[in-house]
Amino acid sequence: MRHAGMHSAGGQFLTPVRAHREDKCMLTDQPPVSPPQARPGERRPGDPDPSSARAPFDRRPTGKVVLVMPAYNAAETLQQTWGEIPAGYVDEHILVDDASRDDTVAIARSLGIHVLEHAKNRGYGGNQKSCYREALDRGADIVVMLHPDYQYDPRLVPMMLLPLQLGSLDVMMGSRVRTRRECLGAGMPLYKYLGNRFLTLIENVCLGQNMGEFHSGFRAYRREVLETIPFERFSDDFVFDSQFLVSAIDAGFRLGEIPVPVRYMPEASSIGFQRSVRYGLGTLVAVGQYLLKLMGFPPARIFAPPRSRSPRIQG
């Protein structure tokens, strides 16, 4: 079949020409027309909106960071812990010694750490109270608590700080429980692992959270949290930690966490079976107090008064 436009009258083949619209393919000798220039202060169509441009990422957000270490007989591990805290992220270091019987205080002072000494042992919770009071008095905007027994990895301090410095979270936790194998392989006793899993499940369900664990000693708080939570009323024993988190959740503060490796060794501080049972029961009591408050019963002493609660949940 012959096609029009493919042959000349003399039978010779001609190059086929594809038809195009004139407005798109016609050549012209006229110079291209430049788009109109925008007047000063005007944006042309397609120009980026300057109000939507992101500011450069600040690798060192402002705000004073104070790292506190509640210490008791930490002479063997203090220097190693101190040596692995990354430089440039913490403005001041405070160690509160709870009447240690070793050289904890002397070693801390030789490292240039600001030291407070308790004349008598006040307990783990009592030690934290002194840590936080001193940090607030020294102008801390963020307070990091790190045990000086080298159980937690100090190199992760910067990861704990950034969500608080950006204002996206109020409380940060270092979660030890990423997998069962890692926990038990690091030396966590089986009864502690099972207790941790049981209590964390109860706390997540009752407190409306989704945390990997609630019982880490590696923590960081914004100043607003410490100024709101009535931590002076909490126990001087280990259940201080559970009371703190229950009270923080009740006050509307936002919790987050990062996974951290943990080490269990003879030099690391750890509570025995009986005190672990007492701690677990105290944790359940704190959760029960939270539930009773939700049901309209008078609030327990661990909760902040309504006028002190975070604006995010008022009204």
pLDDT digits (tens, 9 = 90+) for 85-99: 999 999 999 999 999
Q: Which residues of 99-136 are buried (b: 16+ CB within 10 A; e: fewer)?
A: ebeeebbebbeeeebebbebeeebbbbbbbbbbbebbe
Q: What is the pLDDT confidence band of residue 295, given thresholds at 50, 70 and 90? A: very high
Rg of the Cα atoms in the chain: 31
Q: What is the pLDDT confidence band of residue 261, given thresholds at 50, 70 and 90? A: confident
DSSP assignment, residue 174? E
Q: Give how far Cα 152 sits from Cα of 37, 61, 115, 126, Å.
A: 61, 24, 21, 21
First to last CA, the chain: 84
What whole-number percentage of the chain has pLDDT above 70?
A: 76
Domains and CATH numbers, the chain: 65-297 (3.90.550.10)
DSSP assignment, residue 30? S
Residues 225, 211: Cα–Cα separation, whole Å:
18
3-class state of residue 134 by DSSP: helix
For range 37-58, the mean pLDDT: 53
Work out the widest C-alpha separation in the chain, in whole angstroms: 118
Q: What is the pLDDT confidence band of residue 240, given thresholds at 50, 70 and 90? A: very high
Residue of 157, 313, 164 whose CA lies nearest to 250: 313
pLDDT of residue 283: 98
Q: Give how far Cα 69 sits from Cα of 74, 116, 131, 253, Å.
A: 10, 10, 7, 23
pLDDT of residue 273: 83
Given a contact cutoff of 8 angstroms between Cβ atoms, the answer to whether 152 and 262 are in contact is: yes
Query: Alpha carbon 238 to chain centroid distance?
Result: 22
For residue 265, the one-letter residue type is M
Checking if the pLDDT of 249 tops 80, the result is: yes
Checking if the pLDDT of 10 tops 80, the result is: no
